[in-house]
Amino acid sequence: MTDETTNPSTGYSRIAIVTGASSGIGEATARKFIANGFGVVGNARNAEKLSTLEKELGQAFCGLPGDASDCAILDQLFAAAIERFGKPADIVVANAGRGLGGSVKDADLSKFEEILKLNVTGTLDLLQKAARNMADGQQLNFPKRAADIVIVGSVVGRHISPFSAVYGATKFAVHALAEGLRRELGPKGIRVSLVEPGLVVSGFQEAAGYSDDLVQNFHDKFGPLLHGDDVANAIHFIVAQPPHVHISDIVVRPTRQDYP
């Protein structure tokens, strides 16, 4: 089993950074980690929600508001882990991202630059910082302790989706980054894992501009749909493995979702 014995100097067995932590998969993952004795630094743009989570979850949760595509904010996440919990983060969950409805022919490209910056450029920046912060220490710690970088992708980064092909292209890019980083960091004792959720009930669909009729069709055709907790369970399962066991890729779909 993973060495998750509580560190008496910090009170927490592991320290995690989670982006997009104010709702959906990110919030559920933060809660799951804290319930299992982890300390969490959570990032999101919604400062009010992060403050609410700090009050509810206590000292185990440190909220840091800001844009996950902002390089300075990402640097602050790693500094906050050490300042709050007394040791570097050994889990980073790259979850922040936004959707964009529409096919290649019909997608609103005026919104694409923002989506590309957050979903791809911001994720790449976070992955680079995580790799650089973890690499030296983990070469000394492995195989006594685990270090994990978990990237939340999507099934539409594996299969072309007719209703979100442009958004899916950003996830294809992220999947390529995940595999490239896995090959780079695995020999250093760092696990890089890709989680590809299917349809999850959250504010994602509204933010992506999906119509009410399309969302209702998802429920009718594929429901019951996933909730954030379902994906958080998969993420926790990945990081809870013994340090020498690496789950590099996991797809989580509603049972009735045949495609994508």
Q: What is the pTM of this model?
A: 0.94
The answer to whether position 27 is within a domain reads yes
Q: Which residue would you say has higher pLDDT here, 202 or 199?
A: 199
The answer to whether position 10 is within a domain reads no
**pLDDT at residue 188 in the model:** 97
Buried b (16+ CB within 10 A) or exposed e, 236-248: bebbbbebeebbe
Residue 29 has pLDDT above 70, yes or no: yes
At 55-100, the pLDDT tens digits run 999 999 999 999 999 999 999 999 999 999 999 999 999 999 999 9
The answer to whether position 244 is within a domain reads yes
The answer to whether position 170 is within a domain reads yes
Residue 229 has pLDDT above 70, yes or no: yes
The count of domains in the chain is 1
Residues noted as catalytic: 167
The answer to whether position 58 is within a domain reads yes
The answer to whether position 3 is within a domain reads no
CA distance 228 to 232: 6
**pLDDT at residue 137 in the model:** 94
**pLDDT at residue 10 in the model:** 62
The answer to whether position 25 is within a domain reads yes
Provide the CB-side half-sphere exposure for 135 (13 A, CA).
11
DSSP 107-171: --GGGHHHHHIIIIIIHHHHHHHHHHHHHHHHHHHTTTS--EEEEE--GGGTS--TTSHHHHHHH
Residue 1 has pLDDT above 50, yes or no: no
The answer to whether position 4 is within a domain reads no
Domain range spanning residue 20? 15-252
Question: Where residue 169 sits, what CATH number does that domain have?
Answer: 3.40.50.720
